[in-house]
Structure 1
Amino acid sequence: MTPWRVPMTTQWTTPSALGRRLQRARVGHWFAGNQGDPYALILRALRDDPSPYEEEVRARGPVFHSEALDTWVVTDGALARSVLTDARFGALTRAGGRYRAELLPPAGAELGPDPAGDERGGVPAGADPAVSARDEAAVEALAERVSHTLLGGLGTDFDLVTDFARRLSAQVLAEFLGMPAADRDRFEELLTGCARSLDSRLCPQTLDITRTGLEAAAGLRELLGRHLDDGGERSARAALALAVGAAEPAGVLICNAFEMLGDSHGPWDALCRNPEKAGAVVEETWWRRPPVRLESRIAQEDVELAGAVVPADGHVAILVAAAQRDPAIAPARAQDGPTGGPERGDGTGVPLGLLGDAHSTSAARTAGAISRAALRVLAREAPGLRPSGAVVRLRRAPVTLGHARFPVTRTGSGALTGPATA
């Protein structure tokens, strides 16, 4: 047993009870997928590229009702933007619980909305630490310094996910949240244990991964609470949600950007010649390969969406990656390359992951700042960086479509090899 493990919550007192819950959720997805439900096939998360399933959802109209999973699924770009900014949708049911919680994988405390928070059911907008635009610039400067230090300690060959991207996010967040130096290694270990949190809320993980995530989240919350007690439980909860909500998306964004550029040498070499273009690359990656591909909302009243009536407490899933491929919300980007398309002044050029409540915006700002700094440092200090082996994507990761391994070398050359699975 690892030294940070804590007792499981009273809701899941035995591994057998937890295992049955996970198995029931998995069987539900499997059964619906076997009946041809494309949303269920997305939640199965067995493919490196789920876009064929996303396009099948789109072919069924702007709003597809997955009857087996009782979820209204949105792929239309304008409609997705509307749902994500509409106060009639929140994170919890009107009674303050999760939607059909008995049929979903168990959720840890790390991303659970605060029932005592605002009326939309999210972490309260006034809870610290919120990441302002000024904080975003500070996080980016901090991430640049940490990226330089991390890269300097790595050899010729390393793993972009485990040796660089995840460690970078954890170390930046530890410093931003004011963790004492003596507790930063433990903070990094616990945050790594929460890496599957975003995916686990909609897709049941294995029993071992689930137990590790629940225990790591509890340990992380206790650690943050001890150091943020002056701000009360609300500040510790907000810090926990920020750390978990930003860390893995930042790592995914870094790897997605390098993978997109590394498909051929030209775009990566162009960035190396001008590392200050890292911001444009991150923005374009957020459009083409977003680090959060699936958002979930609960209707707080009866709402009509493109002719479909979603009842109060109805569950709406927004397929972010599919919605961002809709040329109606960003038509210029459909033809643009990975150096970024033209800016738009009407607000429709903002990636969907940057919309939503105050906390979601803070997590997105933090992930973006970390990613921009990382790419800038990699391009400036490791221009010869190349993939050196099979890129392994995670299974059961429908939200992040994250990486398990991404081997790179500073002296090798060549394009990406075919993906493997984990």
Structure 2
Amino acid sequence: MTTQWTTPSALGRRLQRTYVGHWFAGSQGDPYALILRAQRDDPSPYEEKVRARGPVFHSEVLDTWVIADGALARSVLTDVRFGALTRAGGRYRAELLPPAGPEIGPARAREHGGVPADAQPAVSAQDEVAVEALAEQVSRTLLGALGADFDLVADFARRLPAQVLAEFLGLPAAGHGRFEELLADCARSLDSRLCPQTLDITRTGLGAAAELRELLARHLGDGGPRSAQAALALAVDVAAPSGALICNAFEALGSSPGQWDALCQNPEKADAVMAETWWRQPPVRVESRIAQEDLELAGVPIPADGHVAILIAAAQRDPAVTPAPTENGTGARESGDGVGVPLGLLGDAHSTSAARTVRALSRGALRVLAQEAPGLRPSGTAVRLRRAPVTLGHARFPVARTGSGALTDPGAA
């Protein structure tokens, strides 16, 4: 943690100043600022207001160029002229944005999470198969220890990624419990990079990230794709999106009669369900990039070191690039040229590793839920987090096992 922000009073003032800026811009009608406020379950009306203002909307108060256009979003995410950090290797407007924690690691202009842009992914296609098998194993263990009523977030979706990652990274069994605790304390890390959290959440997250890096450094080397820094970035960027995707998929299955039953009858459809959920309710809704040179996007000039925000959920609703769902609830996906690959966690080696891990974790979890708990249903109102513009994760999701495989409406539970 930077020395400047170690005192609670200084950190609190910084968080408050950033959040006040968001509220001021939002009160002036800035839709991007309203997205960053993150005070509603469904930010899509604000995302559509961004789209209505053209392919590139300039949020003047927040000095950010915002994109909701599907084709342009994909272009930016795969364009080497954009990076995670400024040309000097720092965060954009670091003095104004919320502290990001040590998971960002050493400053580099074209590196992300401690992994060089030209590196090979730390999680290969073969590793993805192994992660999925681990996810199934851990899911069965977690479900076996739960009673008839539990919280899908706290008791399952939040614990699963930590336990799988601890095993996958080769941490000794004695350190698994602490790893899980620390990763849970980092749960708001992705959201905190764009939206300031409360002082308590911020201090807890910064301290947990520092201790988590120390824990990983004791067991992993300093270099290569499996270094402690790369492992920390992978863990932080996988945990919250995985939990969000699992809960989003389970919630979506309940919105159409018979879909949960169909999955329970054929659990191998979990992969297709997760792919569709990633398109319709992505686990990462906002991506952030920095221009590494002066350039133009759709005729709009972007200066070097200019900040570009890509609204993933909005971009994937763009009918020009997103296939419509078929009768069985999934859309045709063409991935040979990359067009059919969902956005978010897309681009460099680190993003590829994170995407593969999130996919493997979530589909393994959903498959086991369908196999082992076909009577699972919501037993109360699912509540989403506030100040979570990136993940839009759930704060709680009460569920219960019943004798029927049919998923019922939470309001009727």
TM range (shorter): over 0.9
Q: 1:21-420 alignment to 2 at 5 Å?
A: 21-110=14-103, 112=104, 114-116=106-108, 118=110, 123-125=115-117, 130-229=122-221, 231=223, 235-330=227-322, 332-333=323-324, 335-336=325-326, 339-344=329-334, 345-411=336-402, 414-417=408-411
> Unaligned regions of 5+ residues in structure 2, if any?
none
Give TM-score, length-normalised by structure 2. Answer: 0.95
Q: 1:265 to 1:233 in 2, by over 3 A?
A: closer
In the TM superposition, residue 128 of structure 1 has moved relative to its aligned partner by 8.7
In the TM superposition, residue 129 of structure 1 has moved relative to its aligned partner by 7.5
Q: 1:18 to 1:337 in 2, by over 3 A?
A: farther
What is the letter of the counterpart of residue 372 of structure 1? R
In the TM superposition, residue 33 of structure 1 has moved relative to its aligned partner by 0.3
Please say if residues 127 and 234 of structure 1, whose CA atoms lie closer than 8 Å, have aligned partners that are also in contact: no
In the TM superposition, residue 303 of structure 1 has moved relative to its aligned partner by 1.2
Q: Secondary structure at the match of 2:289?
A: strand
Please say if residues 261 and 338 of structure 1, whose CA atoms lie closer than 8 Å, have aligned partners that are also in contact: no
Give the paired residue count: 408
In the TM superposition, residue 212 of structure 1 has moved relative to its aligned partner by 0.6
In the TM superposition, residue 107 of structure 1 has moved relative to its aligned partner by 1.1
Q: Secondary structure at the match of 2:207?
A: helix
Q: 1:337 to 1:30 in 2, by over 3 A?
A: farther
Counterpart Cα distance in 2 of 1:21 and 1:234: 34
Counterpart Cα distance in 1 of 2:328 and 2:189: 29
Give TM-score, length-normalised by structure 1. Answer: 0.93
Counterpart Cα distance in 1 of 2:226 and 2:11: 28
Q: Secondary structure at the match of 1:414?
A: coil
In the TM superposition, residue 100 of structure 1 has moved relative to its aligned partner by 0.8
Counterpart Cα distance in 2 of 1:135 and 1:229: 19
Please say if residues 193 and 216 of structure 1, whose CA atoms lie closer than 8 Å, have aligned partners that are also in contact: yes
Counterpart Cα distance in 1 of 2:269 and 2:247: 16
Q: 1:337 to 1:416 in 2, by over 3 A?
A: farther
> Unaligned regions of 5+ residues in structure 1, if any?
1-7
Counterpart Cα distance in 2 of 1:16 and 1:415: 45
In the TM superposition, residue 339 of structure 1 has moved relative to its aligned partner by 3.3
Q: Secondary structure at the match of 1:317?
A: strand
In the TM superposition, residue 122 of structure 1 has moved relative to its aligned partner by 6.0
Q: How many percent identity over aligned positions?
A: 78
What is the letter of the counterpart of residue 44 of structure 2? S
Please say if residues 18 and 196 of structure 2, whose CA atoms lie closer than 8 Å, have aligned partners that are also in contact: yes
What is the letter of the counterpart of residue 275 of structure 1? P
Q: 1:134 to 1:23 in 2, by over 3 A?
A: same
In the TM superposition, residue 13 of structure 1 has moved relative to its aligned partner by 2.1
Counterpart Cα distance in 1 of 2:233 and 2:23: 30
